[in-house]
Amino acid sequence: MTQYVLRRVALFVLGLVLTSALVFALLRVLPGDAAQVMGGVKATPERLDQIRAAYGLDRSLPAQYGSWLAGLLHGDLGQSLITGVPIKDEITQKFALTLPLAGLSLLFSLLIGVPLGIASAVYYDTKLGGFASAVAQGLAAIPIVWAGLLLIILLGKGAGLLELLPSQGFPRTGWSEPGRAFASLILPALAVGIVEGAVILRFVRSALLEARGQDHVRTAAALGLTRRQALIRRGLPGAGPAILSVVALQAASLIVGVVVVEALFALPGMGSMLVTDVGNRDLIKVQSTVLVLVGLVLLIGLLVDIASRLIDPRQRRAGE
Amino acid sequence: MRRIGEVLREVWRRPRGAFGLVVVALVLLVAAVSLVWLPHPLLQSNPAERWSGPSLSHPLGQDGIGRDTLTWLMVGTQATVKVVVGSTVVAALVGLPLGAATALLHARVAEPLIVVVDILIAFPTLLLAMVLAAPFGGSLGTVILAVGFASGITISRITRPEIRKVAKADYLLASRAAGAGAVRRLVGHILPNVAPIALVQLSIVAAVSILAEAGLTYLGYGAPNGMPSWGRSLSDSQASLQVAPLAVVWPGLAIGLTVLALNLLGDALREATDPRLRRTRQPAAGVITGVA
Amino acid sequence: MSLEVNDLTIAFGDQVVVDHIGFEVPDGARVGIIGQSGSGKSLTTLAVLGLTPRSARVTGSIRWNGRELVGLADKVLAGIRGRTIGTVFQDPMTALDPVRTIGKQVTDALRNHYDLSKAELRERAIRALDQVKLEDPESFLGRYPHQLSGGQRQRIAIAQALIAGPRLILADEPTTALDVTVQAGVLQVFNELVTGLGSSLLFVTHDISLLPLVAEQALVMEAGRIVERGPVHQLIDRPQDPVTVGLIEAALATAWVDGPGEGERAPSGTGAEVRV
């Protein structure tokens, strides 16, 4: 187990390095003159030299990449071209919104996906099960922007039919007013949660339908459980690792969903910041922010892989 | 090529497959029609009738500057077709050779490649698009490249085991013939065997690319302002939330229905091409299946 | 407590897999069902348990202890399964739960049907594992199926099925997946336990050479029908139906190939011993 964790962590680190190289290559090597990109077409040669000197763009590409990596090792993500603020400080500050939003989105998607997925597999041969799976198919096909807009129309303050929840912005006071701050995250998290939940629902359903055919689930029924109990009590734990790994795979699209709803609901989180930075061609900031976000996805993958090892005795004790 | 006809017939026999095929055909038809005929000229606008609801001459109403919503959605279909075709082609061009490389090359080359694939698979499509858009700006091309590349990685991972299986079976056969002949024969044997899986994956890529166009256009990295596309119509409709909520419905409906159709088509394709799934549909005598 | 099956038919759509069969397992009797895979013998045992696939249509009558089982609610059937009817399935590699300990799953039937304390359950588990001749039974309680050999797993499957002292035991090819050398020992343990409980037995197999060891009466099934029935020795000595002849020839061919395997089986007892 320890050996596995070490190997998995090494893979995670390798993933970070590879991601940083990819992002660096796409942002700094491909476009040719990064200073030109940052300064814009109208920048004077003097301004370009200024930019180059300020961001070390006059050095060779490997040297630039090296110093970026060296900075990362010390927790230094660089400075914004536009504001001059250390990127790390800004990201830390934005995390206060983005992490709760991502967590709430994940929570909603699990609350929607797992119980309904179980129900639709257990009642698969009834009208209810068919209906649940049809709804899931439909919801999984919806663009998150649309889900968000429809939620605003239905429930949003100002525009909504029911005017229940705030649909734009985040209180200036932040988390010092937890109620208001939390309320402003509900609709965006729901928009992500519904669409992601539909995807999870389909995976849980198919994992459980597969478990239905397993011999040991039949054995459990032969020992005195009802068919349904056997499926839920014995089939579900076996499907656990599969479901967990789906959640990990969904981490990437969850982050994407969060970026979209932050823009849609005017929430000043990392997604909105990234959108602004891309618009401002703040390459260094984009580079560091993307690395942090992908790192987050990789980290979730790492944790889920280790967790599914822990819950599966076949793998936990593989060494014996 | 007889096989493709057979598969299509199998797909058509299933309600889900038939629905998928009909919707896809309809989308293609609308895109074609929009090239030669439109209910209203594309750029005709009547600001006096902005946000007006459905009427006989404007069945889906008019947008914020009085343009005909139906006309814009019809022309937007062209962008959808472009994005779908572009993304699937890029995905196939990236995914199949990469899948073949990781399956067939010497382990010393293939194994590091496999690790790279396993890592890149976690890279979110949208972030890739944003990274591309930062220096180059947004366009349909950004969407196509980002979706095509990210999906290609996934396709390579899914086709690798299949290619390995076929290659192993053909190994003796291929090793007897020398040089280029062997390679060509390998490709000739592998491609038809991998085609079913690849086809299923490509239908998923098609669905993903439509969703990605909507999301990326909303963020400003897809169809630029003024270009007709479903994502554009959806983004523009946000301005009308209070005055004309119905305007939000149409583009979302077009996207949702098409994506649903492609997903269902993928399911039907999977069933039609996977012999294991086909068998479970009609349990044979004595085969004991599930409990619940 | 006897099992009476009458006019039992199982169909998937238009495909009839078990075709109007009838037989009886009187209290304490041992009946074998032989036939090739696909003959409908396994589905017949599943029908007794009410565990046929959902897509199967079961008609006819299965009476257990005078009570009609066909069409009975799953909840009621679950009260019978594991308590008065115990089942041993074929493949010990897959029939056990991979993620639960042996100690837990071996007592499942007790926990499903009776309210016992933890200490009692533990004590019963150790006794059950001891009865299937697993050495140092206590050491098995915390282990998982993947840590055990095929023979050990099948002994556990037997202990699991018999722990609540069922009056009828259904055995669906319980030794088929095992090595010939392991088969003999497992079969012996199984026989002793069934004899000890004095339960009835319905033993399903495709291997006619096992029949004299476990049953006194047998049915031969082919394509969903019973083609021949009678005392086991009569079936083997004077087979009437070509299907029975074929099954005997198949068993002889296997014995020829396995060679010493047949010899290993011998010590597990003669037919006479089993018939007690």
What's B171's domain CATH number? 1.10.3720.10
Average pLDDT over residues C246-256: 79
Residue of A nearest to C79 (CA): A224
C68 forms beta bridges with: C63
Average pLDDT over residues C56-84: 93
Separation of alpha carbons B66 and C256, rounded Å? 90
The per-residue pLDDT for B207 is 92
Closest CA to B200 of B132, B135, B150, B267: B267
The per-residue pLDDT for C250 is 85
Separation of alpha carbons B109 and B115, rounded Å? 11
The per-residue pLDDT for B175 is 54
ipTM: 0.86
Which residues span the domain enclosing B208? 68-263
> Hey, are the CB atoms on B286 and C54 less than 8 Å from each other?
no
Neighbouring chains to A with at least 3 Cβ pairs closer than 8 Å:
B, C
Separation of alpha carbons A261 and A98, rounded Å? 11
> For residue B206, is pLDDT > 80?
yes
Task: Quick: pLDDT tens for C11-63.
Answer: 988 889 999 999 999 999 999 999 888 888 989 999 999 999 888 899 999 99
Instruction: Please tell me which of the candidates A19, A260, A283 has its beta carbon nearest to residue B218.
Output: A260
Whether B246 is covered by a domain: the verdict is: yes
How far A124 CA lies from chain B's nearest CA (Å)? 9
> Hey, are the CB atoms on B285 and C17 less than 8 Å from each other?
yes
Give the best residue of C54, C108, C163 to mutate against chain A (max A CB count within 10 A).
Answer: C108
**Residues 253-282 of chain B whose Cβ lies under 8 A from any Cβ of chain C:** 282
Whether B124 is covered by a domain: the verdict is: yes
Task: Quick: pLDDT tens for B145-170.
Answer: 999 999 999 899 888 888 888 777 66
- Token readout for B127 is 């972030």
Instruction: Please tell me which of the candidates C91, C97, C112 has its beta carbon nearest to residue A224.
Output: C112
The per-residue pLDDT for B83 is 94
Average pLDDT over residues A176-188: 87
Whether B292 is covered by a domain: the verdict is: no
- Token readout for B141 is 């091309």
> Hey, are the CB atoms on A19 and B219 less than 8 Å from each other?
no
Instruction: Please tell me which of the candidates C51, C79, C91 has its beta carbon nearest to residue A221.
Output: C51
- Which domains are seen in chain A, by residue range? 10-73 (no CATH), 95-281 (1.10.3720.10)
Residues in C touching A237 (Cβ below 8 Å): 99-100
Separation of alpha carbons B229 and B144, rounded Å? 14
> Hey, are the CB atoms on C82 and A223 less than 8 Å from each other?
yes
Whether B283 is covered by a domain: the verdict is: no
Range name among A164-173, A253-262, C79-88, C172-181 with the lowest pLDDT average = A164-173
Mean per-residue pLDDT over chain B, rounded: 81
- Token readout for A92 is 């830390």
Whether B156 is covered by a domain: the verdict is: yes
Confirm if B256 and A146 have CB atoms less than 8 A apart.
yes
> Hey, are the CB atoms on A149 and B237 less than 8 Å from each other?
yes
A122 forms beta bridges with: none
| Total structural domains within chain B | 1
Average pLDDT over residues C122-141: 93
Residue B290 at interface with chain A, using a CB cutoff of 8 Å: yes
Residue B252 at interface with chain A, using a CB cutoff of 8 Å: yes
Structure-token match 């200036």, residue found: A172
> Hey, are the CB atoms on C17 and B289 less than 8 Å from each other?
no
Instruction: Please tell me which of the candidates A219, A226, A314 has its beta carbon nearest to residue C89.
Output: A219
> Hey, are the CB atoms on B289 and C51 less than 8 Å from each other?
no
> For residue B292, is pLDDT > 60?
no
Whether B236 is covered by a domain: the verdict is: yes
Instruction: Please tell me which of the candidates A212, A264, A278 has its beta carbon nearest to residue B130.
Output: A278
Residues in A touching C79 (Cβ below 8 Å): 224
The per-residue pLDDT for C255 is 62
Measuring CA to CA, how many Å separate A89 from each of A98, A272, B216, B261? Answer: 14, 16, 27, 45
Q: For residue C8, give every residue at least 6 positions away whose Cβ sits within 8 Å of its Cβ, in sequence order, or none.
A: C18, C20, C21, C22, C44, C47, C58, C59, C60, C61, C62, C70
Residue B224: count of CB within 10 angstroms of its CB: 14
Residues in C touching B285 (Cβ below 8 Å): 15, 17, 38, 40, 223-224
> Hey, are the CB atoms on C51 and A218 less than 8 Å from each other?
yes
Neighbouring chains to B with at least 3 Cβ pairs closer than 8 Å:
A, C
> Hey, are the CB atoms on A263 and B218 less than 8 Å from each other?
yes
Whether B282 is covered by a domain: the verdict is: no
Residues in B touching C13 (Cβ below 8 Å): 282
**Residues 113-152 of chain B whose Cβ lies under 8 A from any Cβ of chain A:** 115-116, 118-120, 122-128, 130-136
Separation of alpha carbons C225 and B126, rounded Å? 62
Whether B129 is covered by a domain: the verdict is: yes
A282 forms beta bridges with: none
> Hey, are the CB atoms on A227 and C51 less than 8 Å from each other?
yes
Residue A45: count of CB within 10 angstroms of its CB: 8
Instruction: Please tell me which of the candidates A14, A158, A264 has its beta carbon nearest to residue B119.
Output: A14
Confirm if A304 and A248 have CB atoms less than 8 A apart.
yes
Average pLDDT over residues C96-101: 88
> For residue A249, is pLDDT > 80?
no
Separation of alpha carbons A151 and A139, rounded Å? 13
Instruction: Please tell me which of the candidates C43, C54, C55 has its beta carbon nearest to residue B286.
Output: C43
Identify which has the larger pLDDT, C151 or B171: C151
Give the best residue of A152, A278, A291 to mutate against chain B (max B CB count within 10 A).
Answer: A278
